Amino acid sequence: MAPLFACGLLLLSLLQKEVQSTKHNKTVTAHSTNGNGYFMYFAYASNLLKERLRLNSPSAVFNSTGKIKGYALKFGLWGELMENETAWQGGVATIKEQKDSEVWGVVWKISSEDRRNLDKQEGVDRGLYRPLEVNVNTTYGEILCHAYQMNNFTSKLASPQYKQVICMGAEQNGLPPDYIRELHALETNNNNSTSMLNTIFAAKHREKIPSHVGQP
């Protein structure tokens, strides 16, 4: 009887924790990675676009849109890295702590098997970005998500094609119109290389999604 009684106490404890975490109909994930083989990821830049994200994380499934408070969207490079040394030919996005600011994005549910691919895409192994966890405010409540922040940030303008992919992703997922207008208004470096765009448009064509979506 003792083992059965102990199991009953453990089950009661777990149920109490579940009730506390969903109090007031607010969804709270205790950790961005759980034991069910997936993690929650907050995308705020090129990975807003499903086809771009799935190039490296094919398991990604849309969960919700949301925003993080106390951060601002910035564009730059890692230290003294030159613009022509990046696939996007210009500055890329990061989030930086900034009072009274907010960044909108998409919460994706991704298989844990793709975690290493996503880290590699973000250059974690090279020290370019570092992972962090952010509280994302969504219509379902607050969700704790995996995200990335640039190391050794130096401000640089983004390229037109990088900006275009971000705007496409924002429109694809229905981010607020005012926020999308802010994205379209971003200044760029006028470097019109299309190498990454060609790869993404090929993926969009395979999924039969109109390539004109998101054009300024």
Predicted confidence (pLDDT) per residue in 38-54, tens digit: 999 999 999 999 999 99
Where in the sequence is the domain holding 58, given as residue range(s)?
28-206
Q: Which two tokens stand for residue 65?
A: 């849109």
139 within some domain: yes
pLDDT at 195: 67
pLDDT at 97: 97
10 within some domain: no
20 within some domain: no
pLDDT at 210: 42
78 within some domain: yes
Predicted confidence (pLDDT) per residue in 90-140, tens digit: 999 999 999 999 999 999 999 999 999 999 999 999 999 999 999 999 999
* pLDDT(1) > 60: no
pLDDT at 198: 75
Number of domains in the chain: 1
8 A C-beta contact, residue 56 and residue 121: yes
Which residue, chain included where needed, has tokens 């192994």?
125
pLDDT at 87: 81
CA proximity to 40, closest of 129, 116, 144: 144
Predicted confidence (pLDDT) per residue in 5-22, tens digit: 344 433 334 333 333 333
Predicted confidence (pLDDT) per residue in 92-106, tens digit: 999 999 999 999 999
CA distance 143 to 42: 10
Q: How many residues does the chain have?
A: 216
Question: What pLDDT band is residue 149 in, cutting at 50, 70 and 90?
Answer: very high
CA distance 203 to 197: 10
195 within some domain: yes
Catalytic residue of the set 113, 122, 133, 171? 122
12 within some domain: no
Fill in the DSSP letter of residue 159: P
pLDDT at 52: 96
DSSP string, 90-155: S-EEEEEEEEEEEEEEEEEEEEGGGHHHHHHHTTGGGTSEEEEEEEEEETTEEEEEEEEEESSEEE
Strand 141-150 to strand 92-111: parallel, antiparallel, or no bridges (unpaired)? unpaired
Longest dimension (CA), the chain: 74
CATH of the domain at 56: 3.10.490.10
Predicted confidence (pLDDT) per residue in 67-84, tens digit: 999 999 999 999 876 655
For residues 144-163, give the mean pLDDT.
96
CA proximity to 190, closest of 212, 168, 157: 157
48 within some domain: yes
214 within some domain: no
CA atoms within a 13 Å half-sphere pointing along the CA-CB vector of 130: 5
8 A C-beta contact, residue 117 and residue 53: no
Residue type, 83: E
Annotated binding residues for substrate, written as ranges, equal 41-46, 162
Examine the residue annotation and report whether 122 is marked as an active-site residue of this protein: yes
Q: Which two tokens stand for residue 42?
A: 């907050």
CA distance 60 to 111: 7
Q: Which two tokens stand for residue 142?
A: 């607050």
Predicted confidence (pLDDT) per residue in 25-35, tens digit: 333 344 555 55
